[in-house]
Amino acid sequence: MELRIFDSYELPNTLEECELLGQGSFGEVRKALHPSLGDVALKLFQLTGDCKEVQRQKKEFENEAKILQRMNHPNIVQFYGIVSIFSHEGIVMEYMAGKNLQSLIESKKKNDWAWSERHRLLCQLAEAIGYLHTHDKTKAYIHGDIKPENILMSSSMQLKLADFGSANIRDKTECIPSLVVPHSKQHTWPYTAPEFLKDLFMEKSTAMDIYSFGVVMYEILTKQRAYSDAKVGSEVVCLLIISKMERPNAAPLNEIETELKKTPCEDLKNFDKLRKLMQQCWQQDPSKRPNITKILRKLSDDKCEAHDDGNISLGILEDTLPPYPPPKPPMRQASDVNWGFFHSPNLKIVNTKINKKVSLVKGDITKQKVHAIVNCTNTTLHPGGGLHVDDVIHAAAGPELLKECIKLGGCKVGEAKITLAYKLPSKHVIHTVGPIGMNVRALDSCYLNCLNLLRLNKLKSIAFPCISAGFHGYPNSEAAKIALLSVRKWLEQHHTTVDRIIFCIFNNLDLVIYEELFKTYFPK
């Protein structure tokens, strides 16, 4: 994807026309009006040195911007492009009309913030970090400055992580922030891992982001800034963090626990789990901190619907869609008692009628000429959730697909909804939301609900991607076993209603896994 470089004439002519939103250690952020994008945020940096040095810095700046461009997730502030303006280099990004998490914490009283709301915010923040750490299988991207000031809230209270890449831009370009604050009151040390406080020149790691997440967890749980009640200066606290494993005051946590015990309920159980997770995240030894996949799994186990944020307005005019009222089958729920998973078919029996219905294809799912392809998406049904297949399908289908998805009003984990396919060679797209972490029942439900929609709409062929494998933290081999077993179960009862079921594999690892497992689940 080519880096978008804005022309300066697309933005206001003078700096004074751009409202100052904030000043950080790496630059200042201003609000600007773009003719087609509307309100955007403009982050400005200044490059210094002779002509040759400025060119080098500009090249590094553009390289870092290309990385930012690849970050596409609903819980990360969207990057639009770069611009040279006002004698500065600028990043053009999504404008967030809401407040940041810091102001949210400071504005709410301890007892007026529902636990479900706190849980939701933790899940969304973990989703954003999970995308940075895991979406690229060749490299983990590190934020390096996770703190409430960099956690923004949209007008619909959707959390978005900001300021990813600013530290890299500073380090690689040695650029000077557009506004230098000699005695800034913004301290990031409370969120900085002890190993980095001890050695500021060491290479950053994902474990440092996990430590920061743990401290932010404390602030969300207690609605109190970490170390705000310290009786000594920040330098002393830093030394205590390094040498004595000092952590934020436990008294507010104990007060919450005491209050919850007065009326025992599910909140107390969830609070205890979150407190333990928080303590694991800020372990002194980086190797003992859980990775983000484990964190997402624990949050998911606590019944946190990490994606379920309701409808999020994208500001898109919903044109009238062609008449399309597909029938709605009853969806299997995670709470259903009669889960088919407990009654597996006899895999040793060779069933040629079933075998000829299934096939394995390595390639692009958007190229499959079938009646329906399956899209692994998030509960909003909006692309940009860090799911490669979701983004690719929407890009190939065109904007009409998103317009129809918006009308559907979201989808729960394990369920499925059907739309037209528009510019795709298939006739329909069946959208399903895979679970985060190893939730066997929910993943089984994804496949069965997709197949039931296929049958109910009298469609004869379908192509599946690897649902939940990879980014959602489901081990590839385990996800493949559930996919094959779920399809085999369904075919035992409904093989006469379908002509072809394709498992469309994108990478070589999954191909090897599926080829081997096919011998077990579809023996010949």
- Torsion-angle region of 46 (φ positive above 0: left; ψ -120 to 50: alpha; else: beta): beta
What 3-state class would DSSP assign to 93?
strand
Do 129 and 255 belong together in one domain?
A: yes
In a domain, 20, yes or no: yes
- What pLDDT is attached to residue 37? 86
- What pLDDT is attached to residue 335? 37
Averaged pLDDT score across all residues of the chain:
82
What is the tens place of the pLDDT at every residue in 495-509? Answer: 999 999 999 998 777
Q: Phi and psi dihedrals of 428, rounded to 5?
A: -140, 160
Do 441 and 422 belong together in one domain?
A: yes
In a domain, 328, yes or no: no
Give CA–CA dist 150/43, Å, rounded: 13
- What pLDDT is attached to residue 276? 96
What is the number of domains present in the chain? 3
What is the tens place of the pLDDT at every residue in 70-121? Answer: 888 889 998 999 998 877 888 999 998 878 999 888 876 655 678 888 888 9
- Pick from 191, 187, 322, 319: nearest CA to 247: 191
What is the tens place of the pLDDT at every residue in 314-328? Answer: 222 223 233 334 445
Do 456 and 439 belong together in one domain?
A: yes
For residue 197, pLDDT beyond 70: yes
- What pLDDT is attached to residue 135? 86
Domain CATH code at residue 492: 3.40.220.10
In a domain, 327, yes or no: no
Task: Give 270-275's long-range contacts (Cβ < 8 A, gap of 24+).
Answer: 270/115, 270/119, 270/302, 271/115, 271/221, 273/298, 273/302, 274/119, 274/122, 274/217, 274/221, 274/302, 275/221
| Residue type (1 letter), 480 | A
Give percent of the chain with pLDDT exceeding 90: 43
Average pLDDT over residues 332-355: 56
Known binding residues for ATP: 43
What is the tens place of the pLDDT at every residue in 1-43? Answer: 678 888 888 888 787 788 888 776 556 889 999 988 889 999 8
- What pLDDT is attached to residue 440? 87
Would you place residue 312 in the very low, low, confident or very high pLDDT band (cuts 50, 70, 90)? very low
Q: What is the DSSP string of 432-449?
A: EEPPSS--HHHHHHHHHH
Do 68 and 107 belong together in one domain?
A: no
Task: Give 237-246's long-range contacts (Cβ < 8 A, gap of 24+).
Answer: 237/189, 238/189, 238/197, 241/194, 241/197, 242/194, 242/197, 242/198, 245/194, 245/284
Do 295 and 393 belong together in one domain?
A: no
Task: Enumerate residues 6+ apart whose C-beta is below 8 A from 216.
Answer: 101, 125, 146, 147, 148, 151, 191
Do 60 and 121 belong together in one domain?
A: no
Do 65 and 128 belong together in one domain?
A: no
- What pLDDT is attached to residue 306? 36
Known binding residues: 43
In a domain, 246, yes or no: yes
477 lies in which domain range?
347-521
In a domain, 506, yes or no: yes
How many CB atoms within 10 Å of residue 456? 14
- What pLDDT is attached to residue 343? 42
Do 118 and 83 belong together in one domain?
A: no
Higher pLDDT, 371 or 52: 371
Do 75 and 128 belong together in one domain?
A: no
In a domain, 70, yes or no: yes
